[in-house]
Amino acid sequence: MSTDKLIASLPAGACRSRGEGIYSIMARTPLGDVSAEKLNIINSVVQDFHLPGVRVTGRQRVQLLGIKEEDLQAVVERLGQVGEVCKYFVQACVGNTACRFGMQNSLAMGADLEAFLNTTNLPAKLKSGVSGCSMSCAESYVRDVGMVGKKSGWTILFGGNAGKQVRKADVLAESVSAEEGLKIIGKALDFYSENAKKKERTARFVERVGFEAVRKAVFDR
Ligand code: SF4
């Protein structure tokens, strides 16, 4: 298979080139989870293909660097499912599974959110973060979709962005259950999908249409 065809067959963003026939591949590490089995696979690929190493990205992903073009197909095959990046992945903190401040199980919530998001097809890139408490270690307030755990349930955030035009997300709902939270996010994303311009991120969308329009679409339709 040609390199172009191989890259086209991978999920968007899974394989990147810095030019000169050198590529990198993003391993699949859902919610920052890297099991011993995955570490072994990644480590064996790094050693066998003499890669310079891996990089842990700011969004809890593991990127294998320095892959030569002639090795790309073999690396993809060796990585198997570990190399299968999903379309919309979720950043999450450990929440009450391992943090003393955690009010909710952000890992379980993040897994449910990720499964839900990957049933959708959105107009632009979507970043999301699920935090177990208001310290917001998963950066929920500057994500397109954010969730923050409180004793009473989840705060649902929409329209945040941490890029060069930083925007703090608006609060769509407070103290809702996990199930309600997903429904609210689904309705907000439906409205966004129906009305956003191509490649318009949620932050710019909310600025253009106004947060009240999003709120009405979620609660008054
Ligand atoms: S957001 Fe809260 S629960 Fe999550 S890691 Fe940070 S302090 Fe702990």
- Residue extents of the structural domains in the chain: 3-83, 90-219
90-219 matches 3-83 in CATH topology: no
**Separation of alpha carbons 216 and 221, rounded Å:** 7
Q: Is 1 in the pocket of ligand 1 (CB under 6 A)?
A: no
Structure confidence at residue 88 (pLDDT): 84
Task: Kindly report the CATH number that applies to the domain delimited by 90-219.
Answer: 3.30.413.10
- Looking at 66-200, list the stretches that DSSP marks H as alpha helix, in order from N- to C-terminal side: 72-79, 106-117, 178-195
Instruction: Answer for the pair 3, 72: CB distance below 8 angstroms, yes or no.
Output: yes
Ligand 1 centroid – CA 32 distance (Å): 14
Per-residue tokens: 27: 């391993």
Instruction: List per-residue pLDDT tens for the chain, 221 residues long.
Output: 777 777 777 666 667 777 678 888 888 888 888 889 989 999 999 999 999 989 888 778 888 989 988 898 898 888 877 766 667 889 999 999 999 999 999 999 999 999 999 899 999 999 999 999 999 999 999 999 999 999 999 999 999 999 899 999 999 999 999 999 999 999 999 999 999 999 999 999 999 999 999 999 999 87
Query: What b-and-e string marks burial along 37-50, b requiring 16 or more CB atoms within 10 Å of the CB?
Result: ebeebbeebbeebe
11: left (phi over 0), alpha (psi -120 to 50) or beta: beta
Ligand 1 centroid – CA 60 distance (Å): 15
Ligand 1 centroid – CA 151 distance (Å): 13
**What are 217's strand-pairing partners?**
none
Instruction: Answer for the pair 24, 16: CB distance below 8 angstroms, yes or no.
Output: yes
Mutate to test the pocket of ligand 1, among 31, 91, 96, 101 (most ligand atoms within 8 A of CB): 101
Ligand 1 centroid – CA 152 distance (Å): 16
Architecture of the domain whose range is 3-83:
Alpha-Beta Complex (3.90)
